[in-house]
A and B are shown apart, each in its own frame.
Chain A
Amino acid sequence: MQMKARTTGLAAMAIIIALLPITFPNPYYYDIADTALFNAVLCVGLNLLIGYTGQISLGHAGFFALGAYASAILTLRWQVPPLAALLAGAVAVGALAFVIARPILRLKGHYLAMATLGIGIIIYIVLNTEGWLTGGPDGLMADNFTVLGWKIKGDGSWYWVGGGLLLLAVWLSLNLIDSPVGRALRAVHGSEVGAEVVGVNTTHYKVLVFVVSAVFASVVGSLYAHKTGLITPGIGSFFRSVELVTMVVLGGMASTFGAVVGAIILSVLPHVLTTFEDYEAVVLGLIMMSTMIFMPKGLVPTVMRRLRRRRAAA
C-alpha cells in the first residue's frame, strides 16, 4: 500500500518536472524554477529535522551559506574541481553540525530556537566580516560547475540538475521515513522518554538528523553558488532561515511532499507579488499567519485529510 503511494507520488513528480518547461514562455521562468527546485531539496532535508523529528532550527540558512562559500572559495582561489569542493564543503558543514549538535539538541522548544538562531546569525556575521576570505558584503563570484569535462551552464541545464536532485532527495527521504531509522526519528518527536525505554538512543538520532539536514543544506548551497555565479552573505541571513522553516511548515510538517509544495509556493510567490512591490512583506506576513492559524498542519496534510474524508463519505 505505502510502497504504491510512494511510487505514484514520485512518478507524478517526475512527470510534472519533465513537462513543466513546455509552459515556460521565456528563459526567465527557468531561473525561478531552479530556485524553487533548490529550495525544495533543502526543505526536504530540513523537514527531516523539523517535521519528522520535531526539532526546530532557525539557523539552517547558515549551513546553506557555508556550503555556497566553501564551493566558491575552494574553486576560485585554490582551483579545486567543483565536485570535490562540493564534497569538501559538505564534509566540513557536516563536521561542524556534528560538533554543535550535541550541546544544542539537549535544549528544547524556545531554547533550541534561540540557540540555532544564534548559530545562524554568527555564521552570517562572520561571512560579512571576514572580507579577505569571503569578499565581505560585496560577496564572491563563483564559476560554472563542471563534472568530468561536462559543463553545467545556463538556467535550462540547471533545471534538469535541480529536478533530478529533487527526485533523488524525495526518494531518499521517503525511504528513510519508512525504515527503522525513520521510525526512531519520528519516535523522538512523539515521546523522547517513550523512545528511550525501548532502546532508542534519542541523542544519537537527534545528532544524526541534524547533521543530515545540514549536509542537505550545504550541498544545495554549493550548487546554488555555481548556478547564480555571485553569492552574498544575505543568503545566510536570519530572514532566509525563517523563510526556509516557513516553507516546511506551510507545506506541511512531517510530509515530504508537503515540504516540496511549501518550498515551491514560497519561492514563486515573490515573483507573483512583484506587481504589488511595496506590499510584498505585508502579504508574506499575512500568508504565514493565516496558514498557521487556519491550517496548523500545513497545506498538503490538510488537503490530503479532506480528500480522504470525502472518499470515506462517498
Chain B
Amino acid sequence: MSLLRVNELSKGFGGVLAVADLSFTINAGTIHSIIGPNGAGKTTLFNLITGVYRPTSGRILFDDVDITGKRPYELAALGMSRTFQNLQIFFNMTAVENVMVGAHLHLQPRLLPSLLHLPSVRRRDAACRERCLELIEFVGCGKYRDADAASMPYGALKRLEIARALASQPRLLLLDEPAAGLNATESREIDDVIKRVAAQGVTVVLVEHDMKMVMGLSDHILALDYGRKLAEGTPEEVGKNPDVINAYLGAAN
C-alpha cells in the first residue's frame, strides 16, 4: 500500500548535497512527518517530490508511476498538492478566489467559453464557489471568505493555503511547516485541521519543527540530517533514537 516511494534520491547545489541518497516509502492513509534540524534538507526534499526542483539522481514513484522530473501541475493532476513554508498565496485575489484556483483542474478551463461566460461556465463556477466556501469553513477561515487575501492575518493565510491545496482534491498532501510562526492556539487549530483532513482519507506528509505537534499527530516519522536518513519509525522509536537526540542537541551531548 505504498503511495509514494523515494529511491536513492539526491540533489546537489553547486557541489553540496542537500539531499543525499535518500530512500523511503510513504503508505496511503497515514500522517507521516519529516523532521530534522535546520538545513537538514526537508524543504528541498519537498521541492523534489512536488516537482519544483529536479533531482540530480534517483527516482520518485507516486502510486507506482515514475514521476521523476514531472512538473508540479502534472503532479497536481495525478493527485498531489502542497503548501509552502513561505506563503505562496495569491495576494491579488480574495480568499475564496484563492481556493477556487485550487479547483482549477476540475473546472475544464477553456478560453472561448470563459471569454463568452457561457451558462455552462457560470453554472460550474457557482457550484465550485459553493464547494470552496465549504473548504474555507472547514479550515476555519469562514469569516474571511470574500476578504482580499492581502488583508488577512498570517495564521488565517496558513489555513487558506491548506484549503487551496484541498480544493485540488489531492490523495497526497504535503504541508511544509504549517505551524511555523503561529501561536499556541493557532497551532492547535492547525493540528485539528490536519487530523480532520487525514480522517477524510487524504495521506498527509508534514515538515514541522513543533515536536509536540509531530509526536502527537504522526503515525510515522522520518528524521533527516545533512540530507541523509537518520532514523525512521513510529514516534516512540524515533524519539528514543540516540542519533536523533544527538542531532537535535548537538554538541550539548
Contacts and interface: CB of A to CB of B under 8 A. Distances in A.
**How would you classify the secondary structure of chain A's contact residues: helix, strand, loop or mixed?**
helix
A191 B102 CA distance: 13
A227 to B, nearest CB: 25
A133 to B, nearest CB: 32
Contacts of A181: 109-111, 114
Given A179-B109, A183-B101, A187-B101, A197 B76 contact: yes
Residue from B84, B113, B117 having most chain A Cβ neighbours under 10 A: B117
Contacts of A254: 92
A198 B121 contact: no
A254 B121 CA distance: 22
Interface in B89-104: 89-93, 97, 100-102, 104
Given A179-B125, A180-B109, A190-B89, A198 B101 contact: yes
Contacts of B125: 178-180
A208 B109 CA distance: 12
B116 A175 contact: yes
Contacts of A176: 114-115
Interface string A180-206: 111110110111011111111110000
A190 B93 contact: yes
Q: Which of under 10, 10 to 19, 20 to 34, or 35 or more describes the interface residues of B?
A: 35 or more
A194 B76 contact: no
B109 A196 contact: no
Nearest to B121: A179
A107 interface: no
B81 interface: yes
B114 A179 contact: yes
A223 B42 CA distance: 57
Nearest to B149: A190
Contact of B111 (A187, A191, A202, A208): A208
Contacts of A189: 90, 92
Contacts of A186: 90, 92-93, 97, 101
Residue from A191, A195, A198 having most chain B Cβ neighbours under 10 A: A198
Interface string B119-143: 0010011000000000000000000
B89 A194 contact: yes
Contacts of A184: 101, 104, 109
Contacts, number: 114
Nearest to B71: A196
B168 interface: yes
A180 B90 CA distance: 15
B52 interface: yes
Given A175-B117, A181-B110, A193 B97 contact: no
Contact of A199 (B92, B104, B111): B104
A181 B115 CA distance: 9
B73 A196 contact: yes
A307 interface: no
A289 interface: no
Nearest to A194: B88
A201 B76 CA distance: 10
A172 interface: yes
B167 A193 contact: no
Contacts of B81: 197-199
22 contacts: A172-B116, A179-B113, A180-B100, A183-B93, A183-B97, A186-B90, A186-B93, A190-B89, A191-B88, A195-B90, A195-B101, A196-B52, A197-B50, A197-B73, A197-B88, A198-B101, A198-B165, A199-B168, A200-B101, A202-B73, A208-B111, A212-B111
For the complex of A and B, 6 pairs with smallest distance between CB atoms: A190-B90, A194-B88, A199-B76, A180-B109, A179-B114, A196-B72
Interface of A: 172, 175-176, 178-184, 186-187, 189-191, 193-202, 208, 212, 254
Given A195-B73, A197-B88, 12 more contacts: A181-B110, A181-B114, A182-B114, A184-B109, A191-B88, A193-B84, A196-B72, A196-B73, A199-B168, A200-B101, A201-B73, A212-B111
Interface of B: 50-52, 71-73, 75-77, 81-82, 84, 88-93, 97, 100-102, 104-105, 107-111, 113-117, 121, 124-125, 161, 164-165, 167-168
